[in-house]
Homo-oligomer: A and B are copies of this chain.
Amino acid sequence: MQRSPIKFCRECGQAVIYRLPDDGDTKPRAICTSCHTVHYENPLNVVGTVPVWGETGDQVLLCLRNIEPRKGKWTLPAGFMELAETTAEGALRETIEEAGAQIEMGELFTLMSVPRVGQVHLYYRARLLSPVFDPGFETVEARLFTEDQIPWDEIAFRTVRETLERYFEDRRQGRFGCHTFDIA
């Protein structure tokens, strides 16, 4: 886990300690030494799309990252899901923010747990409505790639590489599934 431990209570500002709560819970939690609020820490969802172009969906949109982590590497448009949105709404929002792409959302394509970093990544298939992009500040460049053109050694995240591999595999089979698997 790469998140830093909680040091102070968000309710009253006093120090917390990690201990087992008194309610039967079996995991140590950050508990306020003053107001006794229990602070839970939970996984984050990352939501994104596989935006494709061409009658047969042979080209995929990738974004060259302008921010850390993995600045200078290529990724599918994706980011942290926000409160008050659905997984699909978050995936659409990230695609607009990072690539300035116009898309029609499709089905859920991959759901991957990444327990090492406490994350779940969800990618939806999407159909590009235009090959013209207008990337935001997080992206240097948004560009279409065929399978042969994809810079496989320059992909930012394993979740993205695995999702791309399954996209082209399913495309060859002529049938798209919903793939759930874990990234160790």
Interface residues of A (CB under 8 A from B): 1, 3-4, 6-15, 24, 27, 39-45, 80-89, 107-108, 111, 113, 115-116, 118, 120, 122, 136-138, 178, 180, 182
Contact = CB atoms under 8 A, between A and B. Distances in A.
A24 B87 contact: no
Contact of A107 (B15, B40, B80, B180): B180
Q: Is the interface of A mostly helix, strand, loop or mixed?
A: loop
A167 to B, nearest CB: 17
Contacts of A111: 87, 108, 111, 122
Contact of A84 (B1, B8, B120): B1
A7 B1 contact: no
B7 A8 contact: no
Contact of A10 (B7, B89, B116, B120): B7
B83 A182 contact: no
A3 B8 CA distance: 18
B40 A42 contact: no
25 contacts: A1-B84, A7-B10, A7-B11, A7-B13, A8-B11, A9-B10, A9-B13, A10-B39, A41-B83, A42-B45, A43-B45, A43-B83, A45-B45, A45-B120, A83-B118, A84-B115, A84-B116, A84-B118, A85-B113, A86-B113, A88-B113, A88-B180, A88-B182, A108-B180, A111-B111
